[in-house]
Chain A
């Protein structure tokens, strides 16, 4: 059986590895190659110069990167605080209601994020759902709430909520009830219960949720475009501009490489510490 396990495991992994090799690994390799090319060339047949990386530092592209990472950190922290009570309730308090919440949240994921963000701009703009009704019913008019940094963070929190909620709920569900009961029985306060039992035992879920939201938020594009106007230029926006409008592929690649390296280090570090079998295979 051992030999069969090895062979079937390997064979079954092949189809998806082919997809990822051709659609993930190869593109990243090409991006890495392009980042070493002289600026504004469109072929890989040039002598590598690393010029693009110098431009990236000299022309302060790192500011966009810092904005993106900063907003991603804030959004991740906010999401953790917002999602914890709900994730806890879904895992431990709600029974069939947890399924209803899961279905409702998953269904929102199937709606394109730009439709939902467009909905927020209809809601928050001057003359939108909130301001329009406030003015008509109470006579309180105000400027639109759009086009600033907080609203971009708000957009990130909104779009990536499910990506924090579900891993967190899965992580909390891994906390054995009797461990909590034993801790309470031994005199732990609510706060001590949280620090000593809940957080450490739910750590894999917390790690997966935080990584996922941080990484996706750091590379997000639509939130800043649809809600933020031009309040700040995020890194994904710079990459898009370099690839499309400015036709400077090496610069776009260099920007991507920097972002990918940061994300890659975080994800590799984080995932290496998580036992996926226990998170995903919990429902046996």
Chain B
């Protein structure tokens, strides 16, 4: 893919009084990609999307759309469009009138508008009879599609999404996630999606940007972020994880000493350098003796939880920390609470996060 930058954010900051909602945000959005911005609530992602759409102005920094600065252009003058969290469908208009709204604003003739609305209904796999239906008569999933159709009718350069699936129930959400990804492929448009749900981000996106406390922690593919997080925050945000503080000389876990390891491992840390050793729970296995894996820890089983297809175990280690382990059902441990285990994993399945500064 010839990567052209469509939207470039440079040094973007937003303050609300003394509160810094966004700090020095830099990001290049590539034409045609599906980028998801994920973060816990309060991380600043809604503030960011409001700046990107033009409903708010940044305190500092630039937004360039294909090289042109747009940060002080109001929303109604920008060629971008957003699907709102509440969908913001006009309740006093029919489905058809909602979809036609941007065309009407642009002053297109009624016949053209209707033709385009029908095309979009088809694209979103809604029956044509829906044209005259009222919004209140549509189900949650149908309203979702109408909102999408309306945004596409605008024919935006970039389509933004502000957690539009968050109000739906689990099954419908799963189905729409896949549909949205499919729609992205069919339309070839640039999608920028905001959510607090990591699962949503992983299913749909080409790239994920993890946001925390008003800045990006990491921007990469889902796979990279999961396996090679750049910070403890990202590691923990991306699901269950076991973390051990280590340094170049002390491989046994700083201040705990419960971690055992082979001597000749290259962790990529200099002698006095401090870092965090990370291993995902699915890579931890039961080992026969010390040395049969690169790292090992002794633990006593506290509890077993059933998570559908997987099982989740919590072990108490000698030093009072907890180790979590996940196994597929077929690999279930035959054990009871109180049983002692030696647990181990290999360097290839671990990752070392270097401490910053």
Direct contact of A and B (CB under 8 A): yes
Check A2 for interface membership: any CB of B closer than 8 A: yes
Rounded to whole angstroms, the CA-CA distance of A2 and B50 in the bound complex is 12
Check B56 for interface membership: any CB of A closer than 8 A: yes
Check B55 for interface membership: any CB of A closer than 8 A: yes
- Interfacial chain B residues near A2, Cβ < 8 Å: 56
| Smallest CB gap from B74: residue in A | A4
Rounded to whole angstroms, the CA-CA distance of A2 and B56 in the bound complex is 8
- Interfacial chain B residues near A12, Cβ < 8 Å: none
Rounded to whole angstroms, the CA-CA distance of A218 and B56 in the bound complex is 50
Q: Is the interface of B mostly helix, strand, loop or mixed?
A: loop
Interface residues of B in 41-91 (CB under 8 A from A): 50, 55-56
- Mask, A1-15, CB within 8 Å of B = 1, is 110000000000000
- Interfacial chain B residues near A1, Cβ < 8 Å: 50, 55-56
Question: How far, in Å, is A212 (CB) from chain B's closest CB?
Answer: 33
Rounded to whole angstroms, the CA-CA distance of A57 and B56 in the bound complex is 61
| Smallest CB gap from A2: residue in B | B56
Rounded to whole angstroms, the CA-CA distance of A1 and B49 in the bound complex is 13
Rounded to whole angstroms, the CA-CA distance of A1 and B50 in the bound complex is 9
- Interfacial chain A residues near B50, Cβ < 8 Å: 1
Rounded to whole angstroms, the CA-CA distance of A1 and B56 in the bound complex is 5
- Interfacial chain A residues near B56, Cβ < 8 Å: 1-2
Question: How far, in Å, is B162 (CB) from chain A's closest CB?
Answer: 14
Question: How far, in Å, is B31 (CB) from chain A's closest CB?
Answer: 28
| Smallest CB gap from B56: residue in A | A1
Rounded to whole angstroms, the CA-CA distance of A2 and B58 in the bound complex is 12
Interface residues of A in 1-52 (CB under 8 A from B): 1-2
Rounded to whole angstroms, the CA-CA distance of A1 and B55 in the bound complex is 6
| Smallest CB gap from B57: residue in A | A3
Question: How far, in Å, is A135 (CB) from chain B's closest CB?
Answer: 60
Rounded to whole angstroms, the CA-CA distance of A118 and B317 in the bound complex is 88
| Smallest CB gap from B16: residue in A | A2
Rounded to whole angstroms, the CA-CA distance of A192 and B334 in the bound complex is 56
Question: How far, in Å, is A6 (CB) from chain B's closest CB?
Answer: 13
Interface residues of A in 108-125 (CB under 8 A from B): none
Rounded to whole angstroms, the CA-CA distance of A2 and B21 in the bound complex is 14
Rounded to whole angstroms, the CA-CA distance of A2 and B59 in the bound complex is 12
| Smallest CB gap from B50: residue in A | A1
Question: How far, in Å, is A4 (CB) from chain B's closest CB?
Answer: 9
| Smallest CB gap from A3: residue in B | B57
Rounded to whole angstroms, the CA-CA distance of A252 and B55 in the bound complex is 55
Interface residues of A in 179-220 (CB under 8 A from B): none
Rounded to whole angstroms, the CA-CA distance of A238 and B127 in the bound complex is 74
Rounded to whole angstroms, the CA-CA distance of A274 and B55 in the bound complex is 32
Rounded to whole angstroms, the CA-CA distance of A2 and B57 in the bound complex is 9
| Smallest CB gap from B55: residue in A | A1
Question: How far, in Å, is B149 (CB) from chain A's closest CB?
Answer: 26
Rounded to whole angstroms, the CA-CA distance of A43 and B26 in the bound complex is 71
Rounded to whole angstroms, the CA-CA distance of A2 and B47 in the bound complex is 12
- Interfacial chain A residues near B55, Cβ < 8 Å: 1
Question: How far, in Å, is B74 (CB) from chain A's closest CB?
Answer: 9
Interface residues of A in 44-72 (CB under 8 A from B): none
Enumerate the 4 nearest inter-chain pairs by beta-carbon distance, A residue then B residue, closest first. A1-B55, A1-B56, A1-B50, A2-B56
Give the interface of B toward A (CB within 8 A): 50, 55-56
Q: What are some 4 contacts across the A-B interface (CB < 8 A)?
A: A1-B50, A1-B55, A1-B56, A2-B56
